[in-house]
Structures are given as structure tokens and as C-alpha cells.
Amino acid sequence: MGHDGKSACPLRYWRTLAACATLSRPHSKRVSSEGRLMPGGRRQPAPSEREFLMAKRKPKQPQQPPGSRGKAGFSTRAIHAGEDRARYADSITTPIVQTSTYAFKNSKEVEDYTKHGKERFEYGRYGNPTEKVAERRLAALGGGEDCVVFGSGMSAIITTILALVRSNDHIVITDDAYKKTLEFCSAYLQRFGVDCTIVPFGDYDAIDSAVRPNTRFIFSESPTNPYLNIFDLDRLREIARRHQVLTLIDATFSTPLNQRPLEFGVDLVLHSCTKYLAGHNDILAGAVLGRKELVGEIRKMHKAIGGVIDPHCCYLLLRGLKTFALRMKIHNETGMRIARHLEGHPQIKRVYYPGLESHPYYAIAQAQMSGFGGVVTFEIRGTIKTAKRFLDSLKLCYIAPSLGGVETLITHPATVSYYDCTRKERYALGITDTLIRLAVGIEDADDIIADLDQALHQSTGA
């Protein structure tokens, strides 16, 4: 059980413990390594994990808002999906159920739950009514059969990965993924005996060649951070199906309004709900959605690890989702307008925005996306001092990490996300001295442009 990364953590012990705990609860649907416990003590042979997780997809059953006929529009689902028509005290909004545990009326209720599988809430780490509404709504927006919400986007990513891998497994991840995701996969997973191959983004031959017999999944983002590269989801699906491996996409930057990877055959989609979905820079939250059997495995791991979201955050997430489509429309429009403005500015060396014809993945973005978001990345002419003068001259935009909120935020990757790298290391990753990432809010576009223009003028020292 060494912690030096040379010996694998004894995951079999923990799996055995988990299987025993599951079998002690007859209503559980978990498939153990020994098969399902049947009446009379018989065991039904269990499918292999690969057979179980790669099972034939069932037709999607998207959540419908109460009283709707057919599939409701996106904004209608963003407001109503997942809710019951009748709510406590006839409340219009989803109530915040602020409790850590739930009482049983009597011993019969306990046995109905533990022995007969009656659905109800038991303990806060295993679920909450406000949380369930948020999960159902996100599943409806993204086209998933099921969804689990977490206390942060990274909690969603790490729990999902740990739920899918076992000791001696292998994963493939692209080099343009979020820095902390890459760090976890390349540095921490090896402690559990899981190997990771990092491949260049967009090199589909390299991805194909990297897959091994023990590969569990291919992980990427689309769009990526900060260059907003777009993954060809059709090619990803073809590679994954040929090798019978799962596909995971972090779709935080695209959102369910602009792109729904599940419709392209991706198995699991992850979101940092902190960003566009909640949209007000006031909560941390994450989510994973997809096929019910896959999400079910992640939910079991979630219950064991924790990383739960509190009910008040769920309420704020639901509040944000009600205006999500309206906000996203402004993000898309303002992002495109600012990208075009900056592309013609004499102080700008280059602009990276998938809605621009100059972007290397413009054609794929046009084919897969209905909008391109509010993040615009660009390089300023000059030196790192020029970039700092630009940032220090801004009056409306806040210098801050994150994106997708109502306020416009701007960050300098070289001195924020990659401050701990040498200049040579940064440049090898494409993080130059004058690279800037702008996350437009929903202020008037003219005001954002005016602030950028005056700061660019000040940055020249004129």
C-alpha cells in the first residue's frame, strides 16, 4: 500500500468491501463482480465490465416539463424540466430542502426502503430533493438519460474517471485538456496503477494508435481552453466504436445550447456548472450526464467519495438555468462581435474564436455547433509588459479567472494558470507572454469594446 506511486493501491479490497455493502441492501441495482444475487441465494452470472458499460444504447427519454406535449423548446425545458407541478406550499420556485438527513415515520418505512426498494431520501450525501430537480433538468437540456451533480467541475471529472477505471487500465487524453484534468490523469492516476497516454489534440491517427486492449476511454474537451479548438466528434465516435472504448467530453465551453455531444454518440458529457449554466459567478458546481447505466456507476462512486453539492447551490443553479438560454444568446452574439472587432485591431496579433473563418477548426465548429460562446482568446503585439499594462488599464472588465458569468472577466494565462512554468515550458504549451483570454459577460457590447480599445491604447505607452 505504498504511497510512492510505484505500487498500485489495493483497489480489489475496496471493491470487495463495496460489493459486500451493496449486497447487504437488497434493493440496490449494483452488479457485483460475482453476479446479481437472486432469490434463494442463486447468482445470475454478471456481464463483463466492458460488456456492461458498452451495452447497446437505449432510446433517449428526455425529461418533459409538466403538461407538455412532445418535446418542449429549449428555454421551456431550462425553466420547467425536472420539476413536479405540485410543490411545497404551492411555491413557484423549487424549494430548498436544507437538511442533512431524513426521518422515517416508523420501522415499516425503514424496511420498505431497505428491503423492498421504496424510493425515498435517506441521507444528504445520497441525494436531496432540490439536487434531484437540478439533475433532471440538466439531463433534459443535454439529452442524457441521467445526470449526477457535484460540488465542483473537478469533482465531477475525478469521480467519473475513478468510477470507470480499475488497476492496470489505460486511458487516452488529449494535450489541450484543462490543466488540472491533465495533472490528475498524468500524475495521480498512476498511484492506482492506471496508465495515461497524452496525445496531440486533433491528431486522430495518434489517438487511434494510442488505444490499447486495456484502454477504458478517450477523454477530451470541446472547445478547449484557451485556444478554443473543436474536437471532431464524428471521428472520435468512429475510433471509439472500432476499439470498443468509451468517450468522455468536457463540454463546459460549448454548453448544451451550442453543442450536445451525446447526440454525436459520445458516452458521457461533463460540465463545470460554475460557468455558463449557473451564470452568475456565485457558486461552484459540476455535472456528468449520459446513459443511465454509466451514470449509475458514477453515482455509486459519488456516494462513497462525497463531493456533494449543497441544496442552496442547487437552488442557485436552477435559478441560473432559467435564464441560461437568454444569457447564452448574448454571450454568443457579443463574443462574435468582439472577436471580429479585435481581429481588425492594429494592436492585436491574432484572435482565436471558432466562429471566425481564421480559426483552424472553423469548419468543424460550423458543422457541430449552433453558437460559439463568450470566450475570445487573443495575442497582443508587444511584450509581457505590454500585456500587463493592458490589463492594468481596464476599467470595466475584471481581472479574474473563470468564465460564463454575467460580468466580463479577463485573464493572462502566463501569470495566472501557468505562473509555475518556466517561459520555455509555457511556450511549448502555446502559452505566450501576450496571450489574453477574455470571457465576455452580458454587458452592452459597445461598453466592453470601448474598455478594450482604451486599454489597448494605454498599453502602447502612447
Q: What is the DSSP letter of 126?
A: G
| 275 part of the active site | yes
Judge contact between 177 and 197, C-beta under 8 A. Answer: no
Write out the three cell numbers for 213: 486492449
Write out the three cell numbers for 106: 416508523
| 90 part of the active site | no
| C-alpha closest to that of 368 among 355, 359, 380, 350 | 355
Identity at 241, one-letter amino acid code: R
Q: How many helices (H) and strands (E) does the chain have?
A: 17, 14
Spatial strand order of the sheet with 268-272 comes to 146-150, 286-290, 268-272, 246-250, 215-221, 170-174, 195-199
Q: Which of 146, 169, 176, 250 is catalytic?
A: 250
Q: Which of 125, 292, 322, 340 is catalytic?
A: 125
Write out the three cell numbers for 314: 442547487
Q: Which of 77, 136, 260, 275 is catalytic?
A: 275
Instruction: Tally the C-alpha atoms within 13 A of residue 339's C-alpha that lie toward its C-beta.
Output: 25
The Cα–Cα gap between 18 and 37 comes to 15
Judge contact between 92 and 3, C-beta under 8 A. Answer: no
Q: What is the DSSP letter of 185?
A: I
Length of the chain: 462
- 3-class DSSP state for residue 350? strand
Query: Strands 146-150 and 286-290, how do they pair?
Result: antiparallel
Hey, how many other C-beta atoms are within 10 angstroms of the C-beta on 409?
21
Query: Strands 375-380 and 215-221, how do they pair?
Result: unpaired
| 105 part of the active site | no
- In degrees rounded to 5, what are phi and psi of residue 157? -65, -50
- In degrees rounded to 5, what are phi and psi of residue 199? -120, 155
| 178 part of the active site | yes
Residue 36 to residues 19, 28, 227, 254, Cα–Cα distance (Å): 10, 10, 47, 39
Q: Which of 178, 227, 276, 361 is catalytic?
A: 178
Catalytic residues: 125, 178, 250, 275
